[in-house]
Amino acid sequence: MKKVKKYYIICKNGERRYRDKIYKIGKMAVIIDGKSLAKKTRENLKIECEKLKDKGIIPKLAVIMVGDDPASKVYVRNKSKACDEIGVKYEEYILKDSITQKELIDLIHKLNEDKTVNGILLQSPIPNHLDIDEAFREISSEKDVDGFNPVNIGKLLLNQDTFVSCTPYGIMKMFEEYNIDLEGKNLVIIGRSNIVGKPLMACCLNNHATVTVCHSRTKGLKEKTKNADILIAAIGKSKFVTADMVKEGAVVIDVGINRGEDKKLTGDVDFEEVKKKASYITPVPGGVGPMTIAMLMNNVIKATINQNK
C-alpha cells in the first residue's frame, strides 16, 4: 500500500505545479519513468518545431553512419522515428566501412557548409581505421547536437550555454523532473567515458554536487558507492551494481544497456534487488534510453533557433 498526498511546488516562473508525493511504506523505490518524460518532452518539442515552420524554418538533422553495425542501425532508426514525430527533416548518410578518413571529413565539411542542415550527428562506433576524435573536432560546434566537439565540451566545463551530450543531458532532466536536488550531495559515477561519464561529471559539478568518478582502476569501489547519495552506473556490465554496493535511500541511475543470454535487456544495476534499498531508481528499458533521443531532438531544435536568430 502506498499513501499518496497531493502538494504543489512553486516553479521559477511563479507557476504552481502539482505533483504526487509518494510516502513509501517499506523499502520500494520510486521508479523514474524516462519513457513518459521523453514523450512529454517530444510533445513540447513538436510545438516548438511547428512555431519554427510557421516562420518558414524547417529543422534538419543529418546523421552519418559508417558500416553496418546492427546496434547502430537500431539507434539510427529510433532517431529517424523521433524526427518524424516532432517534424524535423531527417537525412541519412550510410557510408561503406572501407571509407577513408579524408572522405569522411569531406562529407562533414560539406554538411557544415549546408545552411539547410542544422544538426550533424556521427553515429558511433566507427571502424578502427578511422579517427573519430578528429571527426568530432571537424563537426561545426554550432551543429554539434551530440555535444562531442571540444569547443562544446570546454563550454560545459566552464558552465556556459552549450550543447550537452544527450545521455547526461537526459539524466539532468530526470533529476529536474523528480525534484532530486544535487547540491551538496555525494554523487558517484561509475564509468569515465567521453560520451557519458566525463560530461556527466561536469553537469553534476555545475549543479553543486560533490562528484567522485570511479573506473576499472579504482580501488575500494564498494566503499565509495556505499557512501553515495546519488549513484550513476555507466560501464556496460550487466547487473554489476548489487544491493550491497548501495546506500540505503540512495538515488540510483542506470545508464547501461546490455543484452543477456535470454536476449532480454538489462542494465548495469541489479534492478530487482537494488530497488528495495533505493529511494529512486531508473529501469532498463524505459529509463535513461528514451531520454537520450529526446535530448537529441531538443538539441536539434536549439541549434535551429540559434542559427536563425
The confidence band for 298, taking pLDDT boundaries of 50, 70 and 90, is: very high
Residue 139: Cβ-neighbour burial (10 angstroms; 0-12, 13-18, 19+): buried
CA atoms within 13 A on the CB side of 202: 24
Q: What is the pLDDT of residues 225-254, one digit of tens each?
A: 999 999 999 999 999 999 999 999 999 999
Q: Could you report the per-residue pLDDT of 25-79, keeping only the tens digit for each? A: 345 799 999 999 999 999 999 999 999 999 999 999 999 999 988 888 888 999 9
| Fold (topology level) of 3-31+165-290 | Rossmann fold (3.40.50)
The set of residues, in sequence order, having a beta carbon less than 8 Å from that of 11 and lying 6+ positions away, is 17
Residue 191 reports pLDDT greater than 60:
yes
Amino acid at 140: S
**Catalytic residue flag (residue 146):** yes
* Structural contact between residues 164 and 147, judged by C-beta atoms closer than 8 angstroms: yes
Whole-model pTM? 0.89
End-to-end CA distance of the chain: 52
> Minimum mean pLDDT among 19-28, 56-65, 174-183, 295-304: which range?
19-28
Q: How far apart are CA 141 and CA 305, in angstroms?
A: 14
Give me the residues paired with residue 9 across strands.
17
Q: What pLDDT sits at residue 27?
A: 58
Candidate list 33, 60, 79, 173, residue with the active-site label: 79
In the chain, what percentage of residues exceed pLDDT 90?
86
Strand partners, 61: 90, 119
CB count in 10 Å sphere of residue 78: 15
State residue 71's pLDDT score. 82
Q: What is the mean pLDDT of the chain?
A: 92
Tell me if 3-31+165-290 shares its fold with 54-160. Answer: yes
pLDDT surpasses 90 at 24: no
Is 277 within 8 Å of 250 (Cβ atoms)?
yes
Cell 558517484 maps to which residue? 188
Tens digit of pLDDT for each residue in 83-102?
Answer: 999 999 999 999 999 999 99
Domain boundaries, the chain: 3-31+165-290, 54-160
* Per-residue pLDDT at 18 exceeds 50: no
Domain 54-160 matching CATH 3.40.50.10860: the answer reads yes
Q: Give me the catalytic one of 146, 229, 268, 270.
A: 146
Pairing of strands 280-281, 265-266: unpaired
What is the pLDDT, as a whole number, of residue 68? 87
The pLDDT of residue 290 is above 70: yes
Whether 79 is catalytic is yes
Catalytic site residue from 33, 60, 123, 143: 123
Rounded mean pLDDT of 136-160? 98
Return the HEC string of the chain. CCEEEEEEEECCCCCEEEEEEEECCCCCCEECCHHHHHHHHHHHHHHHHHHHHHCCCCCEEEEEEECCCHHHHHHHHHHHHHHHHHCCEEEEEEECCCCCHHHHHHHHHHHHHCCCCCEEEECCCCCCCCCHHHHHHHCCCCCECCCCCHHHHHHHHCCCCCCCCHHHHHHHHHHHHCCCCCCCCEEEEECCCCCCHHHHHHHHHHCCCEEEEECCCCCCHHHHHCCCCEEEECCCCCCCECHHHCCCCCEEEECCCEECCCCCEECCECHHHHCCCCCEECCCCCCHHHHHHHHHHHHHHHHHHHHCC
Label residue 2 by pLDDT band (50, 70, 90): very low
